[in-house]
Amino acid sequence: MKRSIESVSQAVAQLYNTYPFPPEPLLDEPPPGYNWRWHWSAAHAFCTGMKPKTQAVRVLDAGCGTGVGTEYIAHLNPAAEITAIDLSDRALETARTRCQRSGAPNATFQTLSIYDVEQIPGTFDWINCVGVLHHLPDPHRGIQALADKLAPGGIFHIFVYAALGRWEITLMQAAIALLQGDRQGDYTDGVQVGRQIFANLPANNRLRRREEERWALENQRDANFADMYVHPQEVDYTIPTLFDLIDASGLEFVGFSNPRYWQIDRLIGQAPDLVRRAASLSERDRYRLIELLDPEITHYEFFLAKPPLPRQTWDDDETLLRAYPERHPCMQGWPSRSVFDYDYQFIELTEAEYAFLKACNRDAADSSTSSPPTVAECLAQTGLDLAGVRSLQHRQLILLSNTPSP
């Protein structure tokens, strides 16, 4: 029997009113660290090659839940104006309190379905929609509604589930539903049934092993367990169906925001013949090959954009020499040659790279009196060359802009 969009949305709201998600504790200070995907300059530079011209952007967090991501976006981008929407009043209540307590006045919250997002006036420069579209009864309609609210040149970050690495979860969801029978929709009962199943399956059972090895830590909390195993609505994607969804949005696919996973070389790079064959595949078929060969994948995360999206490759030496470089905002351990990069990978900078980052990292005193140094000026003070600058940019250790930025 086909359920209506309204009845599914009600069931989803009911789940998250019972178990607001994510169940992260509230803090009286800004959240620790960063996630570069929630930093406007970092996300924009990833998509375009350039630091954005303004920090005063409008952001939509679509399906914000209890506001963990919203809070990061608000603190990492204090000049941005953030609107966050969700179906669940209880999740929104937590989100509001979270941002109040940690001191983020630039986020406002609203009970609204993604399907009705047209009710918000104007457009957004950046939309974040993490862990939501796969819970919509009609994700194509949802992504289209959001795409309509994206400004030209705007970027859209999405996270949705992948079917291949969630195979055991899907089986368990169906098993719990069978045992619940007409108690489906009673989410606390679902959690209790699920926990009993895991406790009683043989120790070497595949579903149990996968839960213990991969998920048990986070699933100690009932909200996580419910979100994973007793959800009333979930669609899991594969590369072909993912690109059907993307095509339905009418937007441009910019790239996965975890690009390391999508390198075919990490799987068959030792076999030149296979590498040659893979190189002749279309981009989508290459992604399909990767997920077929490494079916651990549990989600897809990626950026879309509404054309025209300006892009700068910095291939031209003169343009690069005139650019204004800046140390990437997502870096931990600075100033030191040993730092954690935007992705929390530990890296060792060379002497020349370190000197370049120091040269472009104006301190506050300098910035009030002079315009920032160009790449040419920074190079003059260090032993780095243009290839080194391009490498820093490629590894997201610097941001580059054509104009001295705010």
Size of the site for ligand SAM (CB under 6 A): 25
> Of residues 224-283, which lie at the interface with ligand SAM (CB under 6 A)?
227
d(CA 114, CA 87): 8
| 16 counts as binding ligand SAM under rule CB under 6 A | yes
CB 362 within 8 A of CB 372: yes
Q: Smallest distance from the beta carbon of 54 to ligand SAM, in angstroms?
A: 25
d(CA 112, CA 89): 10
Q: Which is nearer to ligand SAM, 150 or 392 (CB)?
A: 150
| 22 counts as binding ligand SAM under rule CB under 6 A | yes
CB 250 within 8 A of CB 147: yes
Taking the alpha carbons of 85, 86, 87, 91 in that order, is the dihedral positive or negative?
negative
Candidates 132, 242, 251, 320; binder of ligand SAM (CB under 6 A) is 132
Q: How many residues in total does the chain contain?
A: 406
| 107 counts as binding ligand SAM under rule CB under 6 A | no
Q: Which is nearer to ligand SAM, 192 or 233 (CB)?
A: 233
Candidates 35, 48, 59, 65; binder of ligand SAM (CB under 6 A) is 65
Q: Which is nearer to ligand SAM, 20 or 52 (CB)?
A: 20
| 84 counts as binding ligand SAM under rule CB under 6 A | no
| 357 counts as binding ligand SAM under rule CB under 6 A | no
Tokens 């980052």 identify what position?
Answer: 357
DSSP per residue, 36-88: GGG-HHHHHHHHHSS--S-S--EEEEET-TTSHHHHHHHHH-TT-EEEEEES-
- The residue at minimum Cβ distance from ligand SAM is 65
Q: Which is nearer to ligand SAM, 248 or 347 (CB)?
A: 248
Q: Which is nearer to ligand SAM, 94 or 401 (CB)?
A: 94
Q: Which is nearer to ligand SAM, 132 or 349 (CB)?
A: 132
DSSP per residue, 183-229: GTT-HHHHHHHHHHHHHHS-TT-HHHHHIIIIITTGGGSHHHHHHHH
CB 328 within 8 A of CB 40: no
Q: Smallest distance from the beta carbon of 280 to ligand SAM, in angstroms?
A: 37
Q: Can you give the binding site for ligand SAM, defined by CB under 6 A?
A: 9, 12-13, 16, 21-22, 63-65, 68-69, 85-88, 91, 113-115, 130-132, 135-136, 227
